[in-house]
Amino acid sequence: MLSGVLLFNQKGELLILRAFRQDMRPRLADVFRIQVISNPQIRSPILTLGSTTFSHIKSENIYVVGVSKGNVNSALVFEFLYKLVQLGKSYFGRFDEEAVKSNFVMVYELLDEILDFGYPQNTETETLKMYITTEGVKSERALEESSRITMQATGALSWRRDNIKYRKNEAFVDVIEDVNLLVSASGTVLRADVNGAIEMRAYLSGTPECKFGLNDALTLGSHSGGLDQPGPTGNLSGNKATKAAAGSVTLEDVSLHQCVKLSSFTTDRTISFIPPDGSFQLMTYRCSENVNLPFKVHAIVNEIGRSKVEYSIRIRSNYGSKLFATNVVVRIPTPLNTANTTHRTSQGKAKYVPSENVIEWKIARFTGQSEFVLSAEADLSAMTTHKAWSRPPLSMQFSLLMFTSSGLLVRYLKVFEKSNYSSVKWVRYMTRAGSYEIRF
C-alpha cells in the first residue's frame, strides 16, 4: 500500500511529508518535484519510476501525492486521496496551501490516524471529529469516552455517533441531477445522460432506520405518500416530460453510501439505511433513457470569408411554463483572432470575454415553454497565417428547480426509531447542466 503521502504547493515547496514505510525516503519528494511539478510534459496523474509510483491529484492550489512501491491497488490510492481532500475540507473549510500551512500539525495528526502502514483506516469525518479536533483536546480523556471512540472507529456503524438528540426531527432530501448533453453539428443527439445524486441532511435523534422509495420501475406501486411536498411539478405540467413522471424510470446504475444495506437493495430494491448525522450523499445514479432535455439549442454559425463569423443562436425551454431556470449562461466560442463583437438578444445580456474567447450570454430567469434568440457577429483581425478555427462546442449552464431530467421521483421516506418520534421530511429537486455541449 502507500509508502508515504506528500503535499506540495504550486511552486513545488513541500508542505507535508509523512512516511509510512521504510522505503519512503525524503529524496522522493525531490523526484516528484522535478519529474512532475516542473515537467510540463507530464500529463498523466500516475508516474512510475523504477518501482516507485507517484499518484497525484490536485486540490485547489496543492498537489496531493500518494507514493507507493509495487503493484498497489490504484483505485484505493486515488479514493484515499479524494477522501483526504474531503476530510481536509470538512475540517478546515477548504484544502489549499493556506489551510494546510495553518493546520500542518493537525494534518500530520490526521494522517497518522487514517493511515496505518499505508493502509487506509477509518476515514469517517463524524468519528474522527470525536477525537481529532481543531479546538485543542484535553489529553486526559475519560477512559470511558476513549472506549466509546474506539468502538465507534471499529464498529459497523462507524459513520454515526450514539446519543444524538434533536428537539425537532427533520430530514431534507435533495435530488440533484447533472444533465449531460452532446449534440453534433447536424443536430443529432450524440449522448444525453443524467448523473444524479441524492443528498440528504438528516437531523434525526437516536438510531433511526430509514427507508427510501423511488419510482424506479421495481419500486412502482408502493405508494406511501407521507411527504410534505409533491413531486417535481415541472415534469407533470411539461409537455413531453410526463412519460417519465408517470412512474417508470430506468436507472442504468446506482452507487450507494456506505450506510445503505446493499444486499437488501439487490434483492428487492429497497434503500434502507441508518443515516450519518448531518449531510451526506445517499446515492448517485446514472440514467440515459428518456432523458428530458430542459433546453433545445439551435445554433447557426457561419464563417464569412476570413474576417467575420455570424451567429444565430436560438434556445427553447422545454419544461412546464410555471417553472423557470435560473443562472442560465450560454457560452458561445469565438475564433482566437476575434477583434470585436456585436450582439443582439431577445432576453438577457451578452458580453464578449476576450480572455476566454467566448461570448457569454446570461439570462437570469428563463421561464418554461419560451424561446430566446441571440444574433451576433464577430469581426476577426487579419492573420498572416490562416489557421482553421477548431470550433469548440457551445456550452450551457443553468439550474432548474422542481424538475428532474431523468423523471426520478421520491415516493416516500420512512423513519423508524425506537422512541417512535414523528419526523418532518422535505424533498427538493434540482436539475443542473453537467457538460451541456452543442457542436456547430
Partner 1 sequence: MSSGGGQDAKFFARGKVAELKVELNSSSGKKDKNFLGKKVALKKIVANMTMSNNDMVALFADIIQCMHIPNLEIKKMCYLYLVNYARMKPEIALNAMVILMEDVKDSNPLMRALALRTMSYIHVRQFVEATLQPVRTLLNDPDPYVRKTAAFTVAKLYDHDRHLVEKSDLIDKLNGMLRDENPTVVSSALASLMDIWERSESIKLTIDYANASKIVQILPDCSEWGQTYILEALTSYVPQDTQEATLLADRIAPRLSHTNSAVVLTCIRVMLYLMNYIESERAIAALCQKLSPPLVTLLSKGPEIQYLALRNALLILQRRPEVLRNDIRVFFCKYNDPIYVKVTKLELIFMLANERNIREVLTELREYATEIDVHFVRKSVRAIGKLAIKIEPAAKLCISTLLELVATKVSYIVQEATVVIKNIFRKYPNQYESIISTLCENLDSLDEPEAKAAMIWVIGQYADRIDNSEVLLEDFLDSWDDETHEVQLALLTATVKLFIQRPSKGQDLVPKVLKWATEDTDNPDLRDRGYMYWRLLSSNPAAAKGIVMGEKPAITAESEKLDPVTLEEMCLVVGTLATVYLKPVHTVFRSARPRRLQDSPALQREKLPSWQAAQAAKLVAADAQAPVQRLNGQSKGDVLDEADAYFASVGAQGVANDGFAASPTHTGMQNEQMYVVNQGQGLGTVRPTMHVQNGEGDLLSF
If the CB atoms of residues 185 and 364 are measured against partner 1, the closer one turns out to be 185
Single out the residue of 10, 11, 38, 48 in contact with partner 1 (rule: CB under 8 A): 48
What are the cell numbers at 288? 440515459
The count of residues interacting with partner 1 (CB under 8 A) is 115
Contact status: 99 vs partner 1 (CB under 8 A): yes
Residues 6+ apart with CB under 8 A from 75: none
45 vs 278 by CB, closer to partner 1: 45
Distance CA 132, CA 67 (A): 25
Stretch in the footprint of partner 1 (CB under 8 A) among 8-16, 235-243, 374-382, 410-418: 8-16
Q: In one letter, which amino acid is 277?
A: D
430 binds partner 1 (CB under 8 A): no
Choosing from 104, 304, 326, 354, the residue that interacts with partner 1 (CB under 8 A) is 104
Footprint (CB under 8 A) of partner 1, residues 373-412: 387-388, 390-393, 395
Cβ 87 to partner 1 shortest distance, Å: 13
Should residue 126 be labelled a site residue for partner 1 when binding is judged by CB under 8 A? no
Beta bridge partners of 281: 199
- Which of positions 240-299 make contact with partner 1 (CB under 8 A)? 252-258, 261-263, 265-266, 281, 283-284, 286, 288
Question: How far is 106 from 89, CA to CA, in rounded Å?
Answer: 13
For residue 189, the cross-strand partners are 183
Identity of residue 253: D
Q: Which of residues 128-187 bind partner 1 (CB under 8 A)?
A: 131-137, 139-141, 143, 146-147, 149-151, 153-156, 158, 180, 182, 184
Other Cβ atoms less than 10 A from the Cβ of 135: the count is 5
In the complex, the smallest distance separating the C-beta of residue 324 from partner 1, rounded to whole angstroms, is 27
161 beta partners: none
Kindly state whether residue 68 participates in binding partner 1, applying the rule CB under 8 A.
yes
| Alpha carbon distance 240, 278 (integer Å) | 37
Indicate the pairing of strand 170-183 with strand 424-438: parallel
What is the residue type of 150?
T
Closest alpha carbon to 181 in 167, 166, 168, 191: 191
Rg, the chain, Cα only: 26
Rounded to whole angstroms, the Cα distance separating 409 from 292 reads 14
Do residues 248 and 215 touch, judged by C-beta distance below 8 A?
A: yes
Please name the helix (run of DSSP H) or strand (run of DSSP E) that holds residue 199, with its range, or none.
strand 189-203
Interaction between residue 49 and partner 1 (CB under 8 A): yes
Shortest spacing between CB 105 and partner 1, in angstroms: 5
C-alpha cell, 50: 523504477
Q: Is 359 exposed, middle or buried (0-12, 13-18, 19+ CB in 10 A)?
A: buried
Nearer to partner 1 among residue 146 and residue 302 (C-beta): 146
Q: Does 228 engage in binding with partner 1 (CB under 8 A)?
A: no
211 touching partner 1, by CB under 8 A: no
- Rounded to the nearest whole angstrom, what is the least distance from the CB of residue 280 to partner 1 in the complex? 10
Nearer to partner 1, 163 or 266 (CB): 266
State which residue, 141 or 223, has the beta carbon closest to partner 1: 141
Residues 185-204 that bind partner 1 (CB under 8 A): 190-191, 193, 195
The CA distance from 43 to 47, in Å, is 10
* CA-closest candidate to residue 415, choices 301, 271, 303, 309: 271
Helical axes 74-92 vs 104-114, angle rounded to 10°:
140
Nearer to partner 1, 50 or 221 (CB): 50
| Contacts to partner 1 from residues 77-96, by CB under 8 A | 78-80, 82, 92
If one asks whether residue 302 binds partner 1 (CB under 8 A), the answer comes out as: no
Q: Which is nearer to partner 1, 184 or 307 (CB)?
A: 184
Q: Which of 12, 60, 61, 72 is close enough to bind partner 1 by CB under 8 A? A: 72
- By C-alpha distance, which of 258, 244, 250, 227 is closest to 415? 227
Distance (Å, whole) CA 205 – CA 258:
20
314 binds partner 1 (CB under 8 A): no
Decide whether 180 or 317 has the Cβ nearer to partner 1. Answer: 180
- Residue 420 is a binding residue for partner 1 (CB under 8 A): no
- Residue 217 binds partner 1 (CB under 8 A): no
Q: Does 348 bind partner 1 (CB under 8 A)?
A: no
Q: Segment near partner 1 (CB under 8 A), from 118-126, 297-305, 308-316, 365-373?
A: 118-126
Q: How far apart are alpha carbons 29 and 14 in whole angstroms?
A: 8
47 is a contact residue toward partner 1 (CB under 8 A): yes
Nearer Cβ to partner 1, position 75 or 382? 75
The reply on whether position 41 binds partner 1 by CB under 8 A is yes
Nearest-angstrom CA–CA distance, 36 and 25:
17
CB closer to partner 1, 362 vs 439: 439
